[in-house]
Amino acid sequence: MNRPKIIINAAMSADGKIALVGGKRIKISDEADFKRVHEMRASVDAILVGINTILKDDPKLTVKEKYVPNAKNPVRVVLDSKLRIPSDARVLNSMAKTIIATTEKAEEREINAEIMRCGDERVDLNCLMKELWKRGIKSVMVEGGGTVIHSFLKAGLVDEMYVFIGPLIIGGDAPTLAEGPGAKSDEEVIRLRIKSCEKLGYGILIHYGVKND
């Protein structure tokens, strides 16, 4: 397997929503889950998100000292097919290396990150994973959003998935854990295997296997 191990990590409401209607952020995890997430960040080689997460939340994608003292920050990877990332985005700071995965058709730009071109119209995930592997990245934690998570699942690239379920209902057409075209037949359904389930803080953490491991 000449690609990194890929782990999805996400938090959702009891009805499967990861944000409010319109994509506005809402706190779903509690302190116990935040600690787990930062410990996981510290254990992987890279963290990956889509450009919409950057535009809406402007995260730093680093490990908080509060949860993991003296941790080394992983490489930050952003999927950005049209190279729209703002030059002042916090993910471009000097706290860790950043890779912007974009396409051959995206315009040239000078930003504080390595620009990696994979694919023509959309970022080719298989190409990207091979390039990350060549750079010594052996594990990638995919944090979202829902479109990115669905893309990795549909591409058959996910090895494990951790989902924290918070005790709240959002409802409506708020973003879900896996956005994008849904399955129209039994053959298109992505089937998971529950490896463990535990109460964590005020919620539940489920660890899934995705491939036949």
What is the identity of the amino acid at 19? A
Task: Say which residue the tokens 């860790």 belong to.
Answer: 96
**Contact present, 158 and 210 (Cβ < 8 Å):** yes
The pLDDT value given to residue 82: 96
The pLDDT value given to residue 180: 83
Give the list of residues 6+ apart from residue 203 with CB closer than 8 angstroms, or none.
11, 28, 29, 30, 33, 164, 165, 166, 167
Question: Which DSSP category does 167 fall into?
Answer: S
pTM for this predicted structure: 0.95
Which parts of 28-75 fold into alpha helices (H)? 31-43, 51-57
**Contact present, 60 and 91 (Cβ < 8 Å):** yes
- Of 30, 93, 94, give the one whose Cα is nearest residue 67: 30
Bridge partners, residue 47, by sequence: 76, 141
Residues of the chain with pLDDT under 50: 213
22 phi and psi angles, rounded to 5 deg: 90, -5
Determine the Cα–Cα distance for residues 145 and 198; give it in Å rounded to an integer.
24
The pLDDT value given to residue 213: 47
Residue 135 has a CB neighbour count (10 Å cut-off) of 14
Determine the Cα–Cα distance for residues 28 and 38; give it in Å rounded to an integer.
15
Concatenated DSSP letters for 128-146? HHHHHHHTT--EEEEEE-H
The pLDDT value given to residue 191: 92
Determine the Cα–Cα distance for residues 138 and 55; give it in Å rounded to an integer.
27
The pLDDT value given to residue 210: 83
pLDDT tens, position by position, 111-153: 999 999 999 999 999 999 999 999 999 999 999 899 999 999 9
What is the identity of the amino acid at 101? A
Q: What is the CATH number of domain 5-209?
A: 3.40.430.10
- C-alpha separations of 107 from 53, 104, 148 in Å: 21, 8, 22
